[in-house]
Chain A
């Protein structure tokens, strides 16, 4: 268990209302919610692990697998949709050869997430790479951005 997670689990809790905040902190510490964290949180709150799993699997925020090194978030909001975001999704997924619902490349370099809306609608279509927002994208620009990120990683 990593130190951060241990620290989180040592803080006092008041009841079941703390479950979602605990899961959020665990994910922040590890990048995802590990099996170990699920059992530890269940024990901490004195509830069955199945209940912890039931709650975390309900919410889109929680991941059960580690996140790639570079996080690519593509906006799938309405404004982005009508301004061509489906083409951006296809371009990024084909550039990274992701298919069958996979969101992380086998080398663990990229994770692609589709986000309901960033609210940067005036820049639609929008993508966020490494915390930086890129707007007015075309499929071509999106591909080049991914390539550039991968190249910089190898330097």
Chain B
């Protein structure tokens, strides 16, 4: 238990000095969900095995995601007095070479090293900020991800952790904390972009016996993993933000509502809560002051709509997660009928640096109305599939072609989808628009929580619209009829179009239904569900018309509208396709041209993928 920050910091520093002597080599292994999926655990095992055989003493530190998903698994080596060298795409096989060369022969393998995570290049390896991927990024939310051991509270503290909480408790009143957040211009990172300080003020002013704060960690957008990476890589920072929010609002209890699909995030959050309680940073009389506050973790049960505030609260209360009309707003009558404040993970993560460095520091970055930085899960047909953080105001082109490294496989950019199922598709005409809340809305999409999926000329926009609608239709809670039935009818129309049975009137019907669903739904899910359809009609109407009028899928995706055939010029008769066809639709003798029977073919694409001669053509 500590009653001032200096003694807490002193404890953390002695803890680090005791467990991590400065004269010892450290080896950092990226073990977020992405790192593990890419084989990080096998690399870890190989690392342990090899290290046991070597005459060096080194410590292995598991760290969170640094954002370079495309280079996973990552292993970083930091020798005393030397910079941190990051090795990318490490395999159990390359571990012995890397360790022997680097640790025994002082030889940094330039061919295997990716970058120096530091200011200066070293031994021919570039500094990370010299790489286009990192050059324009600015890490506020991700400041600790990939740098600290997420399970070590001492390491968080020596990186200025809980200093903001101490500053708020000892030097600021709740009102001045709210004022600072208001002045910073921070807006909700869950998607809607409501000013956070104002939200806190409403809740503070509402009368109530108890008040609650909730961290919304129910990141449900398919293709988005920003919050997960933060929870896995820097859980204490989210917790510190939540405690400061509770102090500002006057809440005595908090909840973190996390997706059950994020088991690692939940494990690390639980650990963070225990550690914070043990140090007196959570629970009764925090830092020895009169302020008491504790947190419960609630695991979501797999319902996208629970990302909506009122549905999320219903779920915590043990009910079906259905939204209710507002007002009363959660700030007036929320969880268990008491004033409640809900913030997204990323919003809360921004709070400690704002309190510590001041509102002006935060507001210096970004655009007039969108301050600070935003994390994005940059995925799809982009070279660098990654987790990035960039200042608001950067253009889509700078993000996709600069940070993202352009379109994969040398193909053409077609669209970028932001905001997940609630967002829309932007076309090449938007590439030079700055990314901020207002601009994206003007373009018919939304900022959303940060999914940014890049699509190329082999992506069918009608199919993408159907994909999102299929998702929202099955996730609609069913309370509002326009959403429940409207999304179903819209999906049926889209299915008709991709099957080649669409009519030209269908486009107008989709537009009409889309507007009705938007206007007639209570919550964000219904109000935004038509966006993917409306925006693809707006920017890619020609693709809809090709499906309807010409029964043609320009991207060659929609199964009912394509046929597979084998090129007579290119086929060598190697029989590989025939042997791999799961339905025996391919016939032909060895060394002779093969033929696909279109009546049997299921268009599973296996033959095209296995062919070594690009002889399988899609028409």
Contacts and interface: CB of A to CB of B under 8 A. Distances in A.
Partners in one complex: yes
Interface of A: 15-21, 23-24, 54-55, 58-62, 76-79, 81-84, 87, 90-91, 94-95, 115-124, 126, 133, 135, 138-140, 143
A116 B471 contact: yes
26 contacts: A20-B301, A20-B315, A58-B322, A58-B477, A61-B301, A78-B223, A78-B379, A78-B467, A78-B468, A79-B223, A81-B464, A82-B459, A82-B464, A84-B605, A90-B604, A91-B606, A116-B220, A116-B304, A119-B228, A119-B377, A120-B33, A120-B69, A121-B379, A122-B385, A138-B610, A140-B610
B38 interface: yes
Contacts of A119: 33-34, 224-225, 228-229, 377
A122 B467 contact: no
Contacts of B318: 15-20, 55
Interface in B202-250: 220-225, 228-229
B386 interface: yes
Contact of B320 (A21, A54, A76): A54
Given A24-B301, A116-B304, A139-B605, A78 B451 contact: yes
B184 to A, nearest CB: 29
A56 B301 CA distance: 9
Given A59-B321, A122-B34, A17 B316 contact: yes
Nearest to B315: A20
B299 interface: yes
Interface of B: 33-34, 36-38, 69-70, 72, 220-225, 228-229, 260-261, 298-304, 315-322, 377, 379-381, 385-386, 417, 420, 451, 453, 455, 459, 464, 467-468, 471, 477, 580, 582, 602, 604-606, 609-610
Nearest to B70: A122
Looking at chain A's contact residues, the main secondary structure is helix
B37 A123 contact: yes
Contacts of A78: 222-223, 379-380, 417, 420, 451, 453, 467-468
Contacts of B220: 116
B413 to A, nearest CB: 13
Nearest to A138: B609
Top 5 closest A-B pairs, CB basis? A119-B225, A78-B223, A122-B385, A60-B302, A122-B69
Nearest to B296: A17
Contact of B303 (A54, A58, A123): A58
A44 to B, nearest CB: 12
B181 to A, nearest CB: 29
Given A91-B606, A121-B377, A135-B38, A58 B225 contact: no
B303 A59 contact: yes
Contacts of B228: 119
Contacts of A62: 301
Contacts of A20: 298-299, 301, 315, 318
Given A60-B302, A83-B381, A122-B72, A117 B609 contact: no
B605 A121 contact: no
A121 B417 CA distance: 14
Nearest to B225: A119
A84 to B, nearest CB: 7
Nearest to A18: B318
B303 A60 contact: yes
Contact of A138 (B377, B459, B606): B606
Contacts of B261: 115-118
B369 to A, nearest CB: 27
Contact of A117 (B38, B222, B381): B222
Given A24-B260, A118-B33, A122-B72, A140 B609 contact: yes
A91 B453 CA distance: 24
A20 to B, nearest CB: 6
A17 B606 CA distance: 49
A121 B301 contact: no
B305 to A, nearest CB: 9
A136 to B, nearest CB: 10
A78 B220 CA distance: 12
Contacts of B386: 122
B417 A117 contact: no
A61 B36 contact: no
B464 to A, nearest CB: 7
Nearest to B378: A121
A84 B456 CA distance: 13
A18 B155 CA distance: 35
A146 to B, nearest CB: 12
A93 B618 CA distance: 23
Contacts of B459: 82
Nearest to B335: A17
Given A90-B604, A140-B580, A16 B36 contact: no
Nearest to B316: A17
A95 B509 CA distance: 38
A120 B37 contact: yes
A84 B463 CA distance: 12
A117 B380 contact: no
A59 B222 CA distance: 17
Contacts of B453: 78-79, 82
Contacts of A143: 582
B348 to A, nearest CB: 19
Nearest to B32: A119
B301 A60 contact: yes
Given A58-B303, A90-B604, A140-B609, A121 B225 contact: yes
B191 to A, nearest CB: 15
Residue of A54, A115, A118 most packed against chain B (CB within 10 A): A118
Given A59-B321, A61-B302, A79-B223, 6 more contacts: A20-B318, A58-B477, A87-B604, A124-B379, A126-B37, A140-B606
A114 to B, nearest CB: 10
Contact of A61 (B33, B37, B260, B606): B260
Contacts of B464: 81-82
Contacts of A18: 318
Contacts of A79: 223, 379-380, 385, 453
